[in-house]
């Protein structure tokens, strides 16, 4: 993939381990094939494998059937007893951490999309503060790159 894929992968590397709570996390080619195959089959059937920058396996059996797949431009997510979710980073209007539990993993993260849809993450396997920071960077990434490119072109 291109330069932006590599940059986004570096951003993912910075945050992935701090997002994970008692679960396995993997960056790009480190993801075991069987786990990512299970995840794709279970909750991300339309994912472009080449765009994957990170994976959190939140299953107790470590089989990949629940968790988060992070790609260049979107996140797929499935938690126990929930329906699969998918959203594009640039569809995020606002991200907030709700609940004031002392433990970060017991808090919730609420994403408001530009269309008004709200997505809430409550998984105890995810620390909400580092996920919030990662998503804030990713939601603004493409517009930041575009602004920098326009600044260079206008000089």
The pLDDT score that the predictor gives to residue 129 is 94
The phi-psi region of residue 104 (left if phi > 0; otherwise alpha if psi is between -120 and 50; otherwise beta) is: alpha
Q: Which residue has the tokens 């569809």?
A: 91
Question: Is pLDDT above 50 for 86?
Answer: yes
Confidence of residue 3 (pLDDT cuts 50, 70, 90): confident
**How many percent of the chain have pLDDT more than 70?**
90
Question: What values do phi and psi take at 66, rounded to 5?
Answer: -135, 155
| pLDDT > 50? residue 151 | no
Tell me, what's the pLDDT at 1? 56
pLDDT of 92 over the 90 cut:
yes
104 has pLDDT over 60: yes
pLDDT at 144 over 80: no
- Averaged pLDDT for residues 32-57: 96
Query: What pLDDT, on the 0 to 100 scale, is given for residue 30?
Result: 93
Which neighbouring-strand residues pair with 75? 70, 87
pLDDT of residue 142: 72
**Is the model's pLDDT at 42 over the cut of 90?**
yes
| Residues 10, 54: Cα–Cα separation, whole Å | 10
What gap in Å lies between CA 104 and CA 97, rounded to an integer? 9
Average pLDDT (30-34) is 95
Question: What confidence category does residue 13 fall into, taking pLDDT thresholds of 50, 70 and 90?
Answer: very high
Instruction: State the Cα–Cα distance between residues 108 and 97, nearest whole angstrom.
Output: 6
**81 CB contacts (<8 Å, ≥6 apart)?**
none
CA 43, CA 56: separation in Å to the nearest integer? 13
Q: What is the pTM of this model?
A: 0.89
Give yes or no for residue 139 having a pLDDT over 60: yes
Cα dist from 13 to 30, 33, 40, 45, whole Å:
12, 19, 21, 24
């Amino acid at each position: 993939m291109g330069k932006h894929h590599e940059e986004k992968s570096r951003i993912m590397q910075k945050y992935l381990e701090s997002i994970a709570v008692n679960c396995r996390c993997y960056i790009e080619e480190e993801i075991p094939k069987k786990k990512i195959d299970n995840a794709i089959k279970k909750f991300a059937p339309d994912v472009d494998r080449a765009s994957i920058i990170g994976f959190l396996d939140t299953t107790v059996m470590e089989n990949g059937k629940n968790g988060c797949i992070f790609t260049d431009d979107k996140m797929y997510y499935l938690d126990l007893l929930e329906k699969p979710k998918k959203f594009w980073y640039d569809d995020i209007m606002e991200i907030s951490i709700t609940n004031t539990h002392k433990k970060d993993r017991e808090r919730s993260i609420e994403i408001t999309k530009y269309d008004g849809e709200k997505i809430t993450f409550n998984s105890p396997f995810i620390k909400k503060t580092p996920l919030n920071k990662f998503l804030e960077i990713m939601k603004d990434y493409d517009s930041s790159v575009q602004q920098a490119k326009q600044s260079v072109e206008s000089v």
